Amino acid sequence: MSQVRTRFAPSPTGYMHIGNLRTCLYEYLIARVNKGTFVLRIEDTDQERFVEGAMDAVFNTLKMTGIGYDEGPGKEGDCGPYIQSQRRDIYKKYAEELVRRGHAYYCFCTKERLESIKGGDENLGAALNYDRHCRTISQEEVAKNLAEGKPYVIRQLMPTEGTTTFTDLVYGDITVDNKTLDDQVLLKSDGLPTYNFANVVDDHLMGITHVVRGNEYLSSTPKYNLLYQAFGWDIPVYIHCPPIMKDAHQKLSKRNGDASFLDLVNKGYLVEAILNYIALLGWSPAGNEEFFTLKELEEKFTLEGLSKSPAIFDIEKLKWMNGEYIRRMSPEEFRAAADNWLRAGLGDALADNEAVLSKVAALVQPRTVILSDIPERIGFLKELPQYDTAIYCHKKMKTDEAISLTSLKLLAPFAAGYSGEWVSGELYTALCELAAAGGLKNSQILWPLRTALSGMEVSPGGATELMEILGRAETLKRIDKGIELLEAAAAGREE
């Protein structure tokens, strides 16, 4: 193969779903791996579905993911324009040529007529193909109808005998009986081509060598081949991908309310993690390594690794991978990526303090799976939550409410009088000494303290880390609050 050219050809719906993105990724990678060209083409031939600004979703996603195209809208190559609605005349010309070659014909059937041949109460059994009524009308009648300005479509003339075989790189050879093929519409009555036709014409005109698409196109591919043959064009390499599923029965889709790429980003998934994960949904690399940057994929992607059975989108594994990506970030990278989430959790007063911000970031980084978890997890720093004193009890830490009260009463004067440096490490050492002096286990000091400071059963960071962030004054306040609550609880029990 001389020069590999692939294309991503979305129809602009204003929504980039995961399956689309994966197809796009694969197209892109095939181009890069082969040092070829990646083309972006917008398939907007459906006027009824036109949505203003919908193309932006495509452009934005490509920009965010770093999937760059070599030719396409705004990056004109030799095959433009790259927006199908601007190529109208081209399709008409080719459709007419196909009529001349005897592989297509004009059809003047009305919508009503088509309805009627479908059989009023269909659905019972087989859907019916077009009855080919207009195949037989005379040249004169065609000319007359055209002259009269009758609306028409151009249909593909399918062979009635024999079989058509095509080769798919993932599914192998597939053969169908020609008699099952419908005389599909190529040119609609509004003069625009159907997807099936525009696709073939453009893929040829743009020199596309590898076509990646969902396997829902498997059954229409023979029609494509017949079209290529009718024109005498080279047939591209087909790579049909199985769908990405929501569960065993349903595809991931907008209709099911499933997350789009952008939804995931907004929920705090990292672009790199999403890309990495979806690359692995339907493709498996040569070794056991699972982490790949886009750059690495551009070298390591192989067509052999593509699988033919559907894959369920497993949000749990994405979460894990996202967490891994987060842990692999430098503290600075994480601090920047989590900025909004940290600020949201800490509130204005604390978020004003860069020292606090970066300390909290450090605490939270190894514990974060998705960024949106952050605010809830650090909210206690902003304000001590209401809590039940039962959380002071912890069997393994060997504490209960009584011991906790004792500890906190030791801790209050300790914190007030502590003269060392107010940092976690120093505080930790001092607290261990305090415990020893009081005949307590470390945990009997540290657990009650951590609990009083956080008001939560679990918190990011331990007692002394929280002390450092909260500062002495707030630490004292929260210890006092703990004492107050524990005394009240004890009094309540005595009654």
Partner RNA sequence: GGCCCCUUGGUCAAGAGGUUAAGACAUCGCCCUUUCACGGCGGCGACACGAGUUCGAUUCUCGUAGGGGUCACCA
Q: Which residues are catalytic?
A: 254
Does an H or E element contain 38, and which?
Answer: strand 37-40
Q: Which is nearer to RNA, 76 or 177 (CB)?
A: 177
Q: Which is nearer to RNA, 209 or 322 (CB)?
A: 322
Structure tokens at 370: 């998705």
Q: Name 265's Cβ contacts closer than 8 Å, sequence gap at least 6.
A: 64, 271, 274
What phi, psi does 68 have (nearest 5°)? -95, 140
The least CB distance from residue 8 to RNA, in Å, is 11
Q: Which is nearer to RNA, 172 or 492 (CB)?
A: 172
The least CB distance from residue 60 to RNA, in Å, is 19
Give yes or no for a contact between 365 and 336, defined as CB atoms under 8 angstroms apart.
Answer: no
3-class SS of residue 153: strand
Give yes or no for a contact between 167 and 173, defined as CB atoms under 8 angstroms apart.
Answer: yes
Structure tokens at 420: 């060392």
Amino acid in the structure at residue 364: V
**Terminal-residue alpha carbon distance, the chain:** 89
The least CB distance from residue 125 to RNA, in Å, is 4
Dist. CA 79–CA 76, nearest whole Å: 8
Give which of 345, 354, 357, 353 is closest to 383, Cα–Cα: 345
Q: Which is nearer to RNA, 151 or 159 (CB)?
A: 151
The least CB distance from residue 365 to RNA, in Å, is 9
Dist. CA 235–CA 121, nearest whole Å: 39
Give yes or no for a contact between 302 and 170, defined as CB atoms under 8 angstroms apart.
Answer: no
Classify strands 185-187 and 210-214 as parallel, antiparallel or unpaired. unpaired
Q: Which is nearer to RNA, 171 or 487 (CB)?
A: 171
The least CB distance from residue 331 to RNA, in Å, is 14
Q: Which is nearer to RNA, 42 or 346 (CB)?
A: 42
Classify burial at 439, counting beta carbons within 10 Å of its beta carbon; exposed 0-12, middle 13-18, buried 19 or more. Answer: exposed
Buried residues in 325-364 as b, exposed as e (16+ CB within 10 A): bbeebeeeebbebbeebbbbbbeeebbeeeebbebbbbbb
Q: Which is nearer to RNA, 9 or 452 (CB)?
A: 9
